[in-house]
Amino acid sequence: MVRGVYLHIPFCHQICNYCDFNKFFFHNQPVDEYIESLGKEMQLWEEQLKGAQIETIFIGGGTPTSLSESQLERLLNLIHQFLPMERVVEFSSEANPDELTFEKMQLMRQYGVNRLSMGVQTFDQDLLKVLGRTHSNEHVYGVIENAKKIDFPSISIDLMYGLPNQTMEQWQNSLQQAYSLNIPHISAYSLLVEPKTIFYNLMSKGKLSLPGEDLEADMYGYLLDEMKKQGYNQYEISNFAKEGKESRHNLIYWDNDEYIGLGAGAHGYANAIRYSNHGPLKKYMHMIDQNEKPIMMHKVVTSNEMMEEEMFLGLRKNVGVSIDRFNHRYSETIQNVYGKELEELQQKGFIIIENNHVKLTRRGRFVGNEVFQYFLQ
């Protein structure tokens, strides 16, 4: 059963040095036409959406807030026109601090957006320049203040650590400034240098100086300890929330449940099929004009692959993988399928079995990718 919808806005006024998402410089792009194509794609999913109990909608990018007010309003109108909104409890949008005006926020609230997710990444001005970010700390403070005035029920920021030449002191200062905002959700990710990014090109030339593994591990350990002190519950490897403010949309991914992905380069999982849309705008929009879903690749997920995904996605959550849910969902016991792996991981101290759930230990969280490999054949 489909639980969520993701919509991709692939436009940016500035391309960040670390970003590998499908994106295009805003200037001279067919932005208005693209928004209309998104509306037509929603219509193409009408049959599947009819019976769906959509709980969450997430507008991501790219940069959704790169849209003008009129473009943003058109997008929100189309969402209300074609998506079943009756059961939606979380309606999120990503945002850049220097593009999210008071008027855009008012517009979002008017159309039911109740969660903002802002890409802050760091509060160190020098590191912001290294990342290719264009906002300042003042932009962040202003947006948070305005969001509280407009009464956004949930506000989240993203932070990054393991950045080029980043020191522990810089990381600690960024976290302290994040806590001072008094917001209910913080995500914190280590930098991954992905192909087709500026950072990747620099690294391949030996021109990117990154903190070593030990310092990065120390940064993560500090993050875990400080978040707990500040009253944030870690509910996933990289995500921390005050009570009841967890990201319900992202939990759909980690619960290994189904969602529809709309837009150029978007990914989705529906009817036991994982798929991705064409990324180039012309190809995406041409297929929509032909009344075809713009799917580039699709794969039927086998029962074995579903079980693998249940494990490595579910273990990202602090609550872990429910043994009862696994056994019921796959008509197989988790011990029959992964008994040997679970025993070995327990002996290494990477997982525990507690309250009928398989969970990462604190030690296991530091080597999550190594743990996940145990469940991939």
On whether the CB atoms of residues 240 and 232 are closer than 8 A, the answer is yes
Beta sheet of 2-9, edge-to-edge order: 233-236, 239-241, 185-190, 154-161, 115-121, 90-95, 56-61, 2-9, 258-262, 267-270, 273-277, 295-300
Q: For position 99, what pLDDT does the model report?
A: 94
Average pLDDT over residues 279-299: 97
Going along the chain from its start, the domains and CATH numbers come out as 2-253 (3.20.20.70), 319-373 (1.10.10)
Give the torsion through C-alpha atoms of 318, 321, 324, 326, to 10 deg.
160
Q: Mean of the pLDDT values across residues 95-109?
A: 96
Residue 24 confidence (pLDDT) = 80
**Residue found under tokens 């948070």:** 144
Rounded Cα distance, 356 and 358, in Å: 7
Q: Cα 370 to chain center, whole Å?
A: 21
CA 157 – CA 251 distance, rounded (Å): 17
High-pLDDT (> 70) share of the chain, %? 100
Q: What is the pLDDT of residues 41-66, one digit of tens each?
A: 999 999 888 878 899 999 999 899 99
Q: How confident is the model at residue 23 (pLDDT cuts 50, 70, 90)?
A: confident
Q: What angle do CA 206, 61, 231 make, to 5 degrees?
A: 85
Q: pLDDT for 198-248, tens place per residue? A: 898 998 999 999 999 999 999 999 999 999 999 999 999 999 999 999 999
pLDDT of residue 19: 82
Task: Give the model's pLDDT for residue 25.
Answer: 74
- 73 sits in the region (left: phi over 0; alpha: psi -120 to 50; else beta) called alpha
Contacts 24+ apart (CB under 8 A), 339-347: 341/374, 341/375, 344/374, 345/371, 345/374
